[in-house]
Amino acid sequence: MENQVNKSNESYRQILKSTSIIGGSSVINILLRIVRTKFLAVLLGPSGIGLLGIYHSITEMVGTIAGMGIHSSGVRQIAKAAGTGSDEKIARTIFALRRVVLFLGVFGMILLGLLSSPVCRLTFGNTEYASAVILLSVIILLETIMTGQVALIQGMRKIGDLARLNVLSAFFGTILSIPILYVLGQKGIVPFLIAASGMNIITAWWYARKIKVVHVQMTWAEIRAEIKPLLNLGFAVMASVLMGKALIWLTSVLIVRLLTLEAVGLYQAATALSTIYVGFILDSMLKDYLPHLTAIADDNVACNELVNQQAEVGILLSVPGILATLTFAPLIIQLFYSAKFIVAFDVLRWQILGALLLVASVPMHFLMEAKGRAKLYFSINLLKHVLHLGLIWVGISHFGLNGAGIAYFGGYVFLWIVVYGVAKRLIGFTWSEANKRHAMLILPSIGIVFLSRFFMDDFWILILGSTVTIAMGIYSFKCLVSIISPDGFIPLLVKIKSRLVRA
């Protein structure tokens, strides 16, 4: 029994360690993002942010097709190869991965170039931006090749390098955006995106080259055999991710057609803010939790425990930020953007509720990917995105831009219900007693702060929201400390001090 407790505590500590490493880089990312976003908002305004968002959704959608889910399946295959301890197996997987991403990148670049005019007509109703979309095709090549480098780093669980890569990507994105967009305005959006992608691939290559891989030679037949499992799972992942990217693009199309380009910018701003805090939690799940879950995918008991641990840590870390966002949303919008974006306030409130459900759903959602259940993974994502798109269309038609925020929340309600049922079927999943206790306190707290907007004035909303946020922050902190150090906070500080002295 004692060994099991020690093993469980060690698993918690590993989750928190990975989250803290990624989280540390995310704090820097957030600060850089504030600078860049503030600059973009002031210079470009809502319409410019909307155009930037549409360009981004187009490249992500086509890039997803070109990528064929290689990032996720590549991480899985490299993690499995690393688990064997065979240097040759690892090298063969990496060799095949590098070949396939180059081919797919060229394919994606040509695809977007050929489809530039139809894509513009579907998006804007005209071909005014066709030349810009052709230039965006270069990004597809760069980003697809980069996914192969990142998959290698992530599959080998080089979490520190991933964190540094994230920071440098945010840094270069910020440094490049300011002079380019200051000089060229909206015409500089495409050059900025291309330059940022170029710096990203250089940075990813720099860290990937540090991983020592033995030299191997492979015939085309051997490469095809190695690629087959990558593409089998990768296709299902690609199709599912594509639905998500297509949903973002179609949402922009619906808003720009039914409302305005400025409304797209407002929605993009709210969406970015709703996930900026929980982003580092989701990032750590993708970069460390998924490879870890994949390694124990055949042990249902271990999977059940790990899913509960990851969900518990994710929820405890995210709740204070979610409550703070609900309370101070108008101030946060003006901090990141400007007063012109304040009308996105109500959209943000609904989306931040969806962000909580997203954090709670992802640990269960990754089970399908870790177990290689490609068809199930695809089917659930298809149902979720079709429902979400329908909710967006109905919401915008009846409630304007706020309807898109309500639809965002509704989509993640559906996702949580479905993935819980799937997790129960796959591994007999049940929520731990600790997570049930957290839910009994967290859900009413968030509900009170959210609903206060309907029956209180601004002053009392701030008082109530601040009080609940502080209280839940203390609660989350105490729970996390008890996970890291069952003996208490003071012994934890002593341990940290002793390690710093030894360092």
Residue 338 has pLDDT above 90, yes or no: no
Query: At a CB cut-off of 8 Å and minimum separation 6, what does 132 contact?
Result: 55, 189, 190
Find the mean pLDDT for residues 273-280: 74
pLDDT tier at 444 (50, 70, 90 boundaries)?
very high
Domain map (residue ranges) of the chain: 2-502
Nearest to 293 by CA among 389, 213, 215, 362: 362
Confidence (pTM): 0.67
Nearest to 225 by CA among 92, 101, 78: 92
Find the mean pLDDT for residues 30-45: 70
Predicted local confidence at residue 492, as pLDDT: 45
Taking CA atoms, 370 is separated from 162, 363, 435, in Å, by 20, 11, 22
Longest dimension (CA), the chain: 71
pLDDT tens-digit series, residues 70-101: 666 666 677 777 666 667 777 777 777 777 78
Distance CA 259, CA 452 (A): 29
pLDDT tens-digit series, residues 463-497: 998 999 999 999 988 888 777 655 544 444 444 44
SS3 category, 157: coil
Q: Who wins on pLDDT, 4 or 388? A: 388
Q: Return the amino acid letter for 230.
A: L
